[in-house]
């Protein structure tokens, strides 16, 4: 008698087929994938991640960057910074990868209904925030004022520039972009992303903020928002640590008393503020 394979195990990767690839900026690629078994069903909540396995190379955690309403496919936007991510960015349509998930605590899009929402992104941090933007635009009447504040190193580093331009033209949402440095041909703003907060009038009691980017960017953004009167429990961050098991077992992603894979990656700032003050955590 042949042993039965437990297909419900969270440690078992399921095969997904690459539908297409798109280079966003040099070294950064978006993969669009679908279940290889033809089921046509896969889903996630905005802000969740999958463990993405490249056969012969290894596994890495990647947040979903696509539209949560497209339940037959998933999109991942990946920067080639290591052996596994370089292998992911080199995949071609028809190639197969393994996925485990979705895992993690998502952006609280339902809790934000009726409130003004500011989305603050730094660099590739716009990718994990993108599904929440899709969701809020699709359900635009459920939210108050909606703004995207995006900062990156230079104009050539802007991820999803066409989409940002489309959103900028959409009267239902405000988009503001800045870069750290630029040449004379750049006609936009120059400065860190927190500079985009200074001219804004914020309804302190009715504003929530979603932040994702380099940890230093999230730290300065969170404290700038506190200075503007936004409560810590209304500021949400997506944290990143070295995740291996994704099921709170290996301890590789421990962050103080939390495990990023289980208690995060999204945290309200009041839960993690004290950890931001501890070096090397």
The pLDDT of residue 279: 78
Each residue of 23-47: b (16+ CB within 10 Å) or e?
ebbeebbbbbbbbeeeeeebebbbb
Q: What is the pTM of this model?
A: 0.94
pLDDT in tens, 250-271: 999 999 999 999 999 999 999 9
Q: Which CATH number fits domain 14-103: 3.40.50.1820, 2.40.30.10, 3.40.190.10, 3.40.50.2000?
A: 2.40.30.10
pLDDT band at 3 (very low <50, low <70, confident <90, very high): very low
Same fold across 14-103 and 116-276: no
- Is the domain 116-276 a CATH 3.40.50.80 member? yes
* Average pLDDT across the chain, whole number: 93
pLDDT in tens, 194-203: 999 998 999 9
**Short-list 210, 189, 185, CA closest to 198:** 189
Domain boundaries, given as residue ranges, for the chain: 14-103, 116-276
The predicted model gives 195-213 an average pLDDT of 95
């Amino acid at each position: 008698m042949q042993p039965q394979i437990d297909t419900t195990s969270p440690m078992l990767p399921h095969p997904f087929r690459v539908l297409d690839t798109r280079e966003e900026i040099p070294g950064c690629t978006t993969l669009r994938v679908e279940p290889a078994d033809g089921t046509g069903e896969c889903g996630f909540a905005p802000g969740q991640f999958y463990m993405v396995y490249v056969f012969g190379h290894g596994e890495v955690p990647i947040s979903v960057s696509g539209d949560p309403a497209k339940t037959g496919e998933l999109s991942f936007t990946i920067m080639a910074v290591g052996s596994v991510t370089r292998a992911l960015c080199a995949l071609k349509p028809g190639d197969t990868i393994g996925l485990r998930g979705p895992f993690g605590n998502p952006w609280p899009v339902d809790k934000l209904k009726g409130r003004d929402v500011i989305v603050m992104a730094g660099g590739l941090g716009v990718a994990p925030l993108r599904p929440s933007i899709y969701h809020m635009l699709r359900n635009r009447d459920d939210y108050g004022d909606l703004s995207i504040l995006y900062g990156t190193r230079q104009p050539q580093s802007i991820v999803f520039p066409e989409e940002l331009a489309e959103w900028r033209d959409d009267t239902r949402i405000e988009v503001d972009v800045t870069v750290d440095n630029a040449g004379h041909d750049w006609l936009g703003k120059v400065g860190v992303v927190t500079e985009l907060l200074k001219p804004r009038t914020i309804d302190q009691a009715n504003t929530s903020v979603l932040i994702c980017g380099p940890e230093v960017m999230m730290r300065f953004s969170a404290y700038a928002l506190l200075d503007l009167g936004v409560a810590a429990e209304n500021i949400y961050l997506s944290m990143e640590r070295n995740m291996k098991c994704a099921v709170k077992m290996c301890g590789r992603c421990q962050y103080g008393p939390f495990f990023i894979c289980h208690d995060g990656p999204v945290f309200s700032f009041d839960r993690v503020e004290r950890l931001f003050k501890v070096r090397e955590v």
